[in-house]
Amino acid sequence: AMNDLRISLIQSDLHWEDSTANRAMFEEKIWEIDQPTDVIVLPEMFTTGFSMDPVELAERMGLLTVRWMRQMAEQTKAVITGSLIVEEDQQYYNRLIWMPPVGDHQVYNKRHLFRMADEQKAYAPGQERLIINYKGWNICPMICYDLRFPVWSRNRMGAERMDYDLLLYVANWPEVRIQAWNTLLRARAIENLAYVAGVNRIGNDGAGIFHNEKSAVFGPAGEVIVPGGDGERIISVTLSADQLTTHRNRFPAWRDADDFRIL
């Protein structure tokens, strides 16, 4: 059974390539959330900014930031999620960690690497989507550039239920292309009959790229639940399970969707 789900998106500037400062900053912001929440979402590469220097910055699983995420999840009794630079098996990944307050964490490695910044030269691509069942919701987390690829993001339709109910993007999406961000978030919600939430960073990064926020949440019909806004802020919103079920029942386009699989 699905109950309502409360999510909190933390829209913040990042200290360039300074994981200690970023963990301290996000810890303060997490404790600013003044109501119980189920999922706390941090931006892409939240410990470093969008850096192409994994040799210097990568962390191992189970150390430093992953331990910090475990501690914060246990203390807040909420999922903590966001991506960071991870080294594993002599490869580097832009890896999203899904850290629940109880139980094992799960990971998603960014599939689509942003070649305009040579991300594919620094990191290995992910090969599998991640869909998590949490509090009755199926949640599919993705990372930034993945948003541009609707096949990868597609909510595949089963006989009884779709793959996911919430599509979640963590990002470092620059101001110069923010119109695409807004348009594609809404499109992913409409075509997949699901909630879509995107959290973006703000400010200039160490490469001189400016990010103008615009974290946002859209409903399954493409309606704006939380519009993109400016500045440092925490966006907390409750997603209605009834609203999702009602829309899917009244407009069951998912029953006519094309059946496919990604090779």
Which residues are part of the catalytic machinery?
44, 110, 144
3-state secondary structure of 142: strand
Could you give the CA distance from residue 11 to residue 197 in angstroms, rounded to a whole number? 12
- Torsion angles phi and psi, residue 125, rounded to 5: -80, 150
DSSP assignment, residue 261?
-
**How many other C-beta atoms can be found within 10 angstroms of the C-beta atom of residue 149?**
13
- Residue 146's nearest CA partner among 175, 185, 182, 183 is 185
**Helices marked H in the chain — which ranges?**
19-30, 54-57, 64-76, 119-122, 150-153, 178-192, 241-250
Q: State CA 84 to chain mean position distance.
A: 12
- Residue 215's nearest CA partner among 225, 204, 201 is 201
Find out whether 219 and 189 touch, Cβ atoms under 8 Å.
yes
